[in-house]
Amino acid sequence: MENDLQQGLNAMQIVASNEQQDKLLSFIALLDKWNKAYNLTAVRNKRDMLRLHILDSLSLLPHLLDAKYILDVGSGAGLPGIPLAILQPNRKFVLLDGNGKKTRFIKQAIIELNLQNVTVNHVRIEKYTPDQRFDCITTRAFATISETLEMVEHFLSKETRVLFMKSNTTEVELKEISTSYNKEIITLTVPGIDAPRTLAILKKQ
């Protein structure tokens, strides 16, 4: 697993300290352990978790730009929020999910990995009223782009960039979005994943 992780990071040109790599591997081990009891993800194999969850999440790194406060909507088992937070200790991450067993897992991961830059909220996104402004919102395997925008619109500012991790539905979904948003589509390359991965970035005009 250590070699697989290092090779993946090298292929993505991501620099991670030994401590950060240890935390990523510990997160996989913790996810694997909890998954057996709580069914947090359909991915069962730890090597598949590395490819499909960790490296996939880290493909967002170059697109965070200078964001300091990041909200991860529908974080599920802490993806992409936890892997990003491990590699970006100077940014603040808030992870949001309406599923109690998943937010309990995230809380345990925060404790065991000693992540000082992560908080988690067990709340449905449409009920969420943040007490701070976010530079960036990330979402992966959640709702459609239009549904998500509708849920977060009450606290979006013109400075907030919303990053949607998608497979091959991006262009179809973007057709449903009003012209009041600037839209950008980027192809993501993740080692070991042949399926199409795209990133849609939206920002209010």
Would the pTM count as exceeding 0.75? yes
Q: What is the reported pLDDT for 178?
A: 80
Q: What is the reported pLDDT for 132?
A: 86
**Are residues 54 and 24 in contact, defined by beta-carbon separation less than 8 angstroms?**
yes
Integer angstrom CA distances of residue 125 from 37, 82, 138, 149, 191: 26, 18, 13, 11, 31
Q: What is the reported pLDDT for 167?
A: 81
**Which secondary-structure segment (H or E) carries 59?**
none
Long-range contacts of 148-157 (CB under 8 A, 24+ apart): 148/73, 148/74, 149/177, 149/181, 149/202, 151/73, 151/125, 151/126, 152/73, 152/125, 154/129, 155/128, 155/129, 155/130, 156/204, 157/133, 157/204
Q: What is the pLDDT along the chain (205 residues), one digit of tens a residue?
A: 899 999 999 999 999 999 999 999 999 999 999 998 888 888 888 998 999 999 999 999 999 999 999 999 999 999 999 999 999 999 999 999 999 999 999 999 999 999 999 999 999 998 999 988 899 999 997 889 999 999 998 889 989 999 999 887 788 889 889 888 999 999 999 998 888 889 999 999 8
**Are residues 166 and 173 in contact, defined by beta-carbon separation less than 8 angstroms?**
yes
Distance CA 129, CA 127 (A): 7
Query: Which amino acid appears at position 84 of this protein?
Result: L
Q: What is the reported pLDDT for 39?
A: 82
Distance CA 58, CA 120 (A): 19
Query: Which amino acid appears at position 192 of this protein?
Result: G
Cβ atoms < 10 Å from Cβ of 177: 15
2-204 is a CATH 3.40.50.150 domain: yes
